[in-house]
Structure 1
Amino acid sequence: MDVELPYMVEYSKTGRASCKGCKTPIPKDVVRIAVMVQSAFHDGKTPNWFHKDCFFKKQKPASVGDIKNFENLRFADQTEIKEMIGSGPVVVASKSGKRSKAEQAALKDFSIEYSKSSRAGCRGCELKINKDEIRVSKTVYDTEVGMKYGGQKVWHHLECFAQMRADIGWFDSGENLPGYKSLKKEDKELVLKTLPAIKSEDMPEVKKPKLEPNIEAEEKEKMKKLQKQNDVLFKYRDNIKKEMKKHDIEKLLRYNTQEPIPGDSEKLLDQAADLMAFGAIKPCPECKSTQFIFNKSGYSCNGNISEWTKCTQLLTEPKRTACKIPDELKSEYSFLSSYKKKPETRIIQYIPPSAATIAKDIAIKKNPDELDGPKVKREKPPLYNFKFSVVGLKEEEEEIKKRIAKLGGKCDSKITDGTIAVISTEKEVKKLSSRITKAKELGIHIVPMKYLDCVESDSSGALNFISSMTLCDWGTDPAARLPQDEIKSSKSKSIYTKSVPKSVTLKMKNGLVVDPGSGLENVAHVYVKGDDKYNVVLGLTDIQRNKNSFYKLQLLEADTKNKYWVYRSWGRIGTTIGNSKLEDFHSLIDAKQCFFDVYADKTGNDFRNRNNFVKMPGRMYPIDVQYDAGDESKQSKFDNIPSKLDPAVQKLVQLIFDVDTMKKTMMEFHIDMEKMPLGKLSLKQIQSAYTVVNEIYELIQQSGSNARFIDATNRFYTLIPHSFGVHAPPLIETIEQVESLRQMLDSLSEIEIAYNLIKHEDTSEEKNPLDKHYEKLKTQLEPIDKKSDEFKLLKNYVQNTHASTHSSYELEIIDVFKVARQGEARRYKPFKKLHNRKLLWHGSRLTNFVGILSHGLKIAPPEAPPTGYMFGKGIYFADMVSKSANYCCTSQQNSTGLMMLSEVALGDMMECTAAKYVTELPKGKHSCFGHGRTMPDPKESHFRDDGVEIPLGKPITDDKLKSSLLYNEFIVYDIAQVNIQYLFRMEFKYKY
């Protein structure tokens, strides 16, 4: 995949475009240069055009390698642009006191001032710059905002700026920074001390690499040949442009088996001139296309390897045949009559993109969760990101706010769940005013003003002092109220993702939702005729072109009169990029025709024949989405009906049916919640995605071509829309990615079960929603008395088998339930007679438990990839509690997990001490045993009256055993060998 270049150059096709700099028209056939900026209205880049001279006033490209299409200019124009380009003059101390125009322009890019607020983040350390703190700015031109608006001020702490001055390009004294004279006397002294002028001999020297004499001579000779070729090329190009009609140019290309490039007159001229100057290119060895585009590094094939993916072939010296001229063209165009030329190799002068452009491209293609750290290491102030409220200290409030700001925190009069503590007095706590009561409800500590004294003398105790100095008898863990560091994420956030709404309220009519963007949800409904629902969501992911697009199309009918609308909206998934259009019609026939035309234009298919849909290259693909809205609101009127369930069971049911948890799980996987809402993931779609992921696994095993990985990646992200913001969808090419996606699809399958159980509940029945959910599980859950011997035995199993290597958390049992799944005991009955039955652990995500309890533990489907299954596709168990607990996917923020104990009929086991993918057990074996070096002491096992072993002994290690496994694993390949008996609600107590 090519580097996305920030600029483009060409000869203007018309005289209609206006310069973004001087606002006057750009004449036809002159050099114009564009800044490629993200369009706010569609999923793609759009050129902001400038006159050549105006461009360099606003932009500062570092290299001609950053300019797309530079290689297709005349040699003289290339030379002129090269001379105009530089990395931008640095600011150095002026010996004479006078500066050149370039130096004066560079100086204007800097400034120094007191920070006006605490919102801006430092580009060095990525921490916030506090209000009234000295900050230094540099105007940059290569950021999203800088490119769009001709520069963006980025701010730095004074100390961070000093550490980065070589990269930033400031070698002068701090006293020459614009704004320096406005600083206080003591701050001027600090600036002079921090930013002294750097002597010229101490400055980093940039030398051009010196070439060996023979290499230098070769380079000069190459440039002569390049200029000669360029002159010949443009001689043909000028004649073709001046004399030939478009259809004759295409005829010439086709006569030489070259497929004409559609939609771009300049590219067509380049293609025809290349044909005449160098010869006809033979078909692509990969896709057999005969359409090639010349770029910086060679000839890119413009064909397709499939309906999903462009060909990736890049040829530097393609095989050619001599260009032939049809007789009818010879007689019509005089310059063609005597044409005769042998094929020739075109010289390529590859100039790579600048380091800044490559770094930016890598950042776009990088997972946003894996961003690089700050450039400058700076210790966070002790109250960084702490938000306080002050109550009952009117006279001292201003002083408190200043002290908190100096320590890196902030104050807010509103008390919320994000307030770290309230600064007040014992008197106020006793009064229990409305604001103190609010703090109590939210579990927020009240601390005295003395707290700030303690932090100022010992900054490391800022968090602990809140609990130790509290004036009240309530308070939850203050660490849980700290927001995640936002500066780093905001640096990576685009202007097109910062204001994306988290949820949209949908209004349903007749089972379908009118898109709220139409503004017609109260007066119209989606038109339906029989089985035809005129409601479509289309998607297209293309990682080669960095596209992650959606297109929504609806035919709407007025509720009360004969009026129709076609509404369409489009954009990039997970961003504000996009637009919409609403057209009204008085005739249903006209509205339908418009709907059909748009569908055909976007997909290449007829809507009336959509059941036989064929994906077309470069076109969109339908996503099987239908919106159900209001299911939860229908049940709200029964919330006040008392539940008949035990309180512990109520809490459990509430936990596993929590829709917000399901949404969070989907968002963790970057799934787009608008295009792929809960409960709308059809089994067919998930199975198709499993098949694609399995295909990627096979490609990894067979070292498949990059083009095949791109093809499969495009298909996967189109089937399961993901939100990556403006970041490019990542290529799926590693086993780790395949395993992550497999887990995601497993979770989606379980969420689909859970949400559909909720959706199909009888909403007319007057019963508490929790009782309805419970009935859908078809499972009896009975809380175990914590004083009983049974509970003590199970608690012992938890405490004894927590592995020493899993020391980041401790497990606290909240509740234990006896489980009886409907029909499972009967299914298990034949295996009850089998020897070697154990009570073993199994852990899974919270969102998987509705599916597990209602349908039982399942084995991965055949279409799922084999990754993550050390011993093949089966049901995995452990005898060490923490081994299974790690699969609960908990965190400090989401610390509740569920675990099961199941009776597992193991019988005769096939023993393994290393990974072995099992597709079929050997004859006479009932299960697989991954023998680990550490296990519960068999001598301490407890045997129940029915013969089931509970391996609750304390861990022992067999150092003589040569095994790659740390702990035991038990795998069965028949779901009937499992009988779920206990469900544990655990609190994961994280230590760090």
Structure 2
Amino acid sequence: MSSNSSDDNSDSSKASSSSQKSSSSVHSVEVSHEPINLRAHQPYIAGYARSNYSGCRECQEDIPKDSLRLGRLVADARYDGYTPIWFHFNCFFKKFQPRTTGDISNFTLMRYEDQKLIEQKVQNHSRRRQAPISSFLVEYARSGYSTCLWCDRNIPIGSVRIGRNDENSDTPLLIGTPIPRWFHINCFARCRQKIGFGSNRSAPEISGFEDLKRFDQQVLITKLPPLNENRRTSVKNEYGAEASSSESLSFSSDDYSSLEESLASQSNLMYSYIDNLVKLKSSELNALLEDNGYDLSSMSDDRVDKIYALADAMAFGTLRSCPKCGDQIIFRIAGFICVNEVCDYTTSLPARCPFFVNSWLKNKYQFLEEYQYVRRDRVMPKTQYGCESYYPVRGTRFDPGEQLRLLLLGVRKKSRRRARRRSSYWSRKTS
């Protein structure tokens, strides 16, 4: 124990001295101050084409087998889940603008060089998150049934409403036609940067501005002036975090390069196992998982997910069950979670044990016969994981009982005061 502590002290002293030497060279990395939500829904997905039959929704051409592809996850009406709509790598970034790599599912499971390609594209697009001005329009409300996307209130008939054509949420992607999302003028001014109406834009650029009355034009010009570069609208995502809460932090270039080297070697190690595990049959993959104590009933039925789980077990050790509830633990985003939705167990360093290979599989596959378990810890990348909702931004939701009045008919057995107390109680319960 004393020798280990002395080694740790010497290593820390070396690290501190090296950081002092390299204080002049720093690398700026953007990370999030908010805790990582490992159970957050990710609207995008990355993967490799399993065949030549998947097509790109943007260019309508086939995606070659084993090539990198990116997709948008949309809610499936057939079951309670999501279905990916796939795109070529370049076609995806023509249509979508992910804010961070944390919004892309399976990002940390891609090859290291592909992770760098995706990260570079995301950083380039995050600098110019303005939507095309042709996607915005302003008009008088044709009826009283349209709802503001920010405050969830109705827009009165004949009042001015501002909209943005939504092409990338679930319904427009499924039907293939953009849908306008409407806002009150004040609500649009609050969330203008969130929905891509940049600070350098003004009201006269919006389509339909010339068709408005002069008084309404002056109101729009007052509400939507060009903003200063240092002024940003505070907008909260669905997890309560500020959209502008991320800051640029500085890490020494030596620490950053060592982290990147460890991530590159880790990715190469895992894909050395993945490239061989692909050759196994589904029954053999299930046998390997069962021999190592994995619960197949609580895991995904997807073959690729099983291969990723086995590669993680071969590289770092078999995952033990959840210490809280005893269910299966799986890797997600940048850590490990319990598959039980009721259990809130999350960790970055789970308990592991040596990976076991059955003798009949060793005799059949050479890479399994040559495999030897070495204890390692999985390195997590220092990346910004925002995981925010994709398109519909929401403001303060109004109280359902705020503008409602109850009408009581018949003979009252209780007093009027008690009935009022009960009605106010249920309005609070439903809000």
Residue aligning to 1:332: 364
Residue aligning to 1:247: 283
**How many Å separate the matches in 1 of 2:342 and 2:224?**
52
Task: Give the 3 Å change call, closer, same or farther, for CA 246–354 of structure 1 in structure 2.
Answer: same
Residue aligning to 1:154: 181
**How many Å separate the matches in 2 of 1:332 and 1:25?**
35
Matched, 1:174 2:199: no
Cα deviation for residue 72 of structure 1 reads 1.5
SS at match of 1:269: helix
- CA deviation map 1:345-382 (0-9, x unaligned): 11123756536429989x8xxxxxx97349xxxxxxxx
How many residue pairs match? The answer is: 372
Amino acid at match of 1:154: R
Cα deviation for residue 237 of structure 1 reads 0.6
Query: Residues 777-816 of structure 1: matches in 2 within 5 Å?
Result: none
Residue aligning to 1:495: none
Cα deviation for residue 143 of structure 1 reads 5.5
Task: Give the 3 Å change call, closer, same or farther, for CA 111–236 of structure 1 in structure 2.
Answer: same
Residue aligning to 1:277: 315
2:226 to 197, 210, 229: 197
Q: How large is the RMSD of aligned CA atoms in angstroms?
A: 4.4
- CA deviation map 1:738-776 (0-9, x unaligned): xxxxxxxxxxxxxxxxxxxxxxxxxxxxxxxxxxxxxxx
Residue aligning to 2:376: 344
SS at match of 1:889: helix
**How many Å separate the matches in 1 of 2:348 and 2:145?**
50
Unpaired runs of 5+ residues, structure 1, are: 92-101, 364-369, 375-383, 386-478, 482-651, 656-813, 816-841, 844-880, 894-992
1:224 to 261, 268, 279: 261
Matched, 1:320 2:352: yes
Amino acid at match of 1:170: G
2:422 to 889, 903, 906: 889
Aligned 8 A contact 1:9 1:70 in 2: yes
Matched, 1:372 2:397: yes
Aligned 8 A contact 1:3 1:358 in 2: no
Amino acid at match of 2:133: L
Matched, 1:122 2:148: yes
Cα deviation for residue 77 of structure 1 reads 1.8
Residue aligning to 2:192: 165
Residue aligning to 1:897: none
Aligned 8 A contact 2:137 2:163 in 1: yes
- CA deviation map 1:792-815 (0-9, x unaligned): xxxxxxxxxxxxxxxxxxxxxx69
**How many Å separate the matches in 1 of 2:337 and 2:220?**
53
Cα deviation for residue 134 of structure 1 reads 3.5
Residue aligning to 2:331: 294
Cα deviation for residue 115 of structure 1 reads 3.4
SS at match of 1:5: coil
SS at match of 1:153: strand
Task: Give the 3 Å change call, closer, same or farther, for CA 90–174 of structure 1 in structure 2.
Answer: farther
Cα deviation for residue 83 of structure 1 reads 2.2
Task: Give the 3 Å change call, closer, same or farther, for CA 371–48 of structure 1 in structure 2.
Answer: same
**How many Å separate the matches in 2 of 1:359 and 1:131?**
25
**How many Å separate the matches in 1 of 2:287 and 2:121?**
40
Query: Residues 458-607 of structure 1: matches in 2 within 5 Å?
Result: none
Aligned 8 A contact 1:8 1:69 in 2: yes
Query: Residues 970-989 of structure 1: matches in 2 within 5 Å?
Result: none
Cα deviation for residue 131 of structure 1 reads 4.3
**How many Å separate the matches in 1 of 2:334 and 2:126?**
29
Cα deviation for residue 174 of structure 1 reads 1.9
Cα deviation for residue 235 of structure 1 reads 1.2
Cα deviation for residue 335 of structure 1 reads 2.8
SS at match of 1:29: coil
Amino acid at match of 1:115: A
Task: Give the 3 Å change call, closer, same or farther, for CA 287–119 of structure 1 in structure 2.
Answer: closer
Residue aligning to 1:138: 164
- CA deviation map 1:636-670 (0-9, x unaligned): xxxxxxxxxxxxxxxx9xx5xxxxxxxxxxxxxxx
SS at match of 2:247: coil
- CA deviation map 1:234-271 (0-9, x unaligned): 11111221x43333334444444445556211012112
Aligned 8 A contact 2:71 2:86 in 1: yes
Aligned 8 A contact 2:320 2:352 in 1: yes
Task: Give the 3 Å change call, closer, same or farther, for CA 283–356 of structure 1 in structure 2.
Answer: closer
Query: Residues 940-959 of structure 1: matches in 2 within 5 Å?
Result: none
1:112 to 138, 146, 152: 138
- CA deviation map 1:573-632 (0-9, x unaligned): xxxxxxxxxxxxxxxxxxxxxxxxxxxxxxxxxxxxxxxxxxxxxxxxxxxxxxxxxxxx
Task: Give the 3 Å change call, closer, same or farther, for CA 231–889 of structure 1 in structure 2.
Answer: same
Residue aligning to 2:386: 354
Aligned 8 A contact 1:62 1:87 in 2: no
Cα deviation for residue 229 of structure 1 reads 0.4
Residue aligning to 2:119: 82
Amino acid at match of 1:246: S
**How many Å separate the matches in 1 of 2:311 and 2:212?**
62
**How many Å separate the matches in 1 of 2:392 and 2:142?**
29
Task: Give the 3 Å change call, closer, same or farther, for CA 358–2 of structure 1 in structure 2.
Answer: farther
Higher relative contact order (CA 8 A, sep 6+): 2
Cα deviation for residue 316 of structure 1 reads 2.3
Amino acid at match of 1:285: P
Task: Give the 3 Å change call, closer, same or farther, for CA 357–219 of structure 1 in structure 2.
Answer: farther
Matched, 1:4 2:41: yes
**How many Å separate the matches in 1 of 2:125 and 2:141?**
27
Task: Give the 3 Å change call, closer, same or farther, for CA 110–342 of structure 1 in structure 2.
Answer: same
Cα deviation for residue 201 of structure 1 reads 5.8
Matched, 1:266 2:277: no
Task: Give the 3 Å change call, closer, same or farther, for CA 5–232 of structure 1 in structure 2.
Answer: same
- CA deviation map 1:532-553 (0-9, x unaligned): xxxxxxxxxxxxxxxxxxxxxx
Cα deviation for residue 295 of structure 1 reads 1.2
**How many Å separate the matches in 2 of 1:195 and 1:181?**
15
Task: Give the 3 Å change call, closer, same or farther, for CA 117–46 of structure 1 in structure 2.
Answer: same
Task: Give the 3 Å change call, closer, same or farther, for CA 341–372 of structure 1 in structure 2.
Answer: same
Amino acid at match of 2:377: T
Aligned 8 A contact 1:107 1:177 in 2: yes
- CA deviation map 1:123-166 (0-9, x unaligned): 45555444454332224567554665675422234454345434
Cα deviation for residue 167 of structure 1 reads 4.1
Matched, 1:40 2:69: no
Residue aligning to 1:61: 98
Amino acid at match of 2:303: S
Of all paired residues, the percent bearing the same amino acid is 26
**How many Å separate the matches in 2 of 1:262 and 1:173?**
49
- TM-score, structure 1 normalization: 0.33
**How many Å separate the matches in 2 of 1:181 and 1:218?**
56
Task: Give the 3 Å change call, closer, same or farther, for CA 356–87 of structure 1 in structure 2.
Answer: farther
**How many Å separate the matches in 1 of 2:303 and 2:294?**
16
Aligned 8 A contact 2:172 2:179 in 1: yes
Task: Give the 3 Å change call, closer, same or farther, for CA 85–108 of structure 1 in structure 2.
Answer: farther
Aligned 8 A contact 1:137 1:155 in 2: yes
Cα deviation for residue 280 of structure 1 reads 2.2
Task: Give the 3 Å change call, closer, same or farther, for CA 14–229 of structure 1 in structure 2.
Answer: same
Query: Residues 401-800 of structure 1: matches in 2 within 5 Å?
Result: none
- TM-score, structure 2 normalization: 0.69
**How many Å separate the matches in 1 of 2:338 and 2:231?**
49
Larger Rg, first or second structure (1 or 2): 1
**How many Å separate the matches in 1 of 2:230 and 2:255?**
34
Aligned 8 A contact 2:150 2:396 in 1: no
**How many Å separate the matches in 1 of 2:246 and 2:121?**
17
- CA deviation map 1:930-981 (0-9, x unaligned): xxxxxxxxxxxxxxxxxxxxxxxxxxxxxxxxxxxxxxxxxxxxxxxxxxxx
